[in-house]
Each structure stands twice: as structure tokens, then as C-alpha cells.
């Protein structure tokens, strides 16, 4: 009977810390940036996490929020790589 998670899953909420850096991005540029970031994490996080990204706001006033569900209590080491340095993580639900 295998499943996606081998342990009790935990959720983490992440928010991009430097919203002002995104002010010059148009919506398609921001989508390309986030798509590339997620592609870089796809291999290392395969079978460890599920994620969803929400972009709020309008051109020049973007907020990026993410919800990650992982199969461990600690934040995965993959989120400490240089690509993830602009994110702040908050533990949400055990």
C-alpha cells in the first residue's frame, strides 16, 4: 500500500522576503522566475514534498507566498540552498 508520505506530513508557509525586488517584473516575467526556481527544486524534493505557489498583487506590487507539505518535522535541507535564501519559512501545522 505505499503512499506519498512515509511519515506524518508537516506544512510550511514560505514568503518571499524581498518584495521590492519584484517591483520591476511584469506578470509573465515573475511567472518565468518562479517556474525556474521550482524546476531547480523538482529533482531534489521529488517524493519529499508537495508545494503550491500563489502570486498576489498587480504589476509592480507583487507578493509571493508558498505552501509546502513535507514528510518530516524539520525543514528539508534543499530549502537552505542559494535559490531559497530569499524565502522566510514559518512552521504551520504538525
The parent domain of residue 15 ranges over 10-93
Task: For residue 64, give the CATH number of its domain.
Answer: 3.30.70.1010
Confidence of residue 1 (pLDDT cuts 50, 70, 90): very low
Q: For residue 65, tell me if it sits in a domain.
A: yes
Distance separating alpha carbons of residues 47 and 28, to the nearest angstrom? 29
For residue 65, the number of C-alpha atoms closer than 13 Å in the C-beta half-sphere is 8
Q: For residue 67, tell me if it sits in a domain.
A: yes
pTM score: 0.75
By percentage, how much of the chain surpasses pLDDT 70? 84
Amino acid at each position: 500500500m505505499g503512499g506519498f508520505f512515509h511519515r506524518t506530513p508537516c506544512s510550511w508557509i514560505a514568503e518571499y522576503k524581498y518584495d521590492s525586488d519584484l517591483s520591476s517584473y511584469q506578470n509573465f516575467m515573475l511567472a518565468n522566475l518562479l517556474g525556474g526556481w521550482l524546476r531547480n527544486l523538482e529533482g531534489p524534493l521529488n517524493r519529499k514534498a508537495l508545494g503550491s505557489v500563489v502570486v498576489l498583487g498587480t504589476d509592480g506590487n507583487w507578493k509571493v507566498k508558498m505552501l509546502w507539505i513535507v514528510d518530516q518535522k524539520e525543514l528539508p535541507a534543499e530549502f537552505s540552498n542559494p535559490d531559497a535564501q530569499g524565502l522566510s519559512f514559518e512552521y504551520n501545522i504538525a
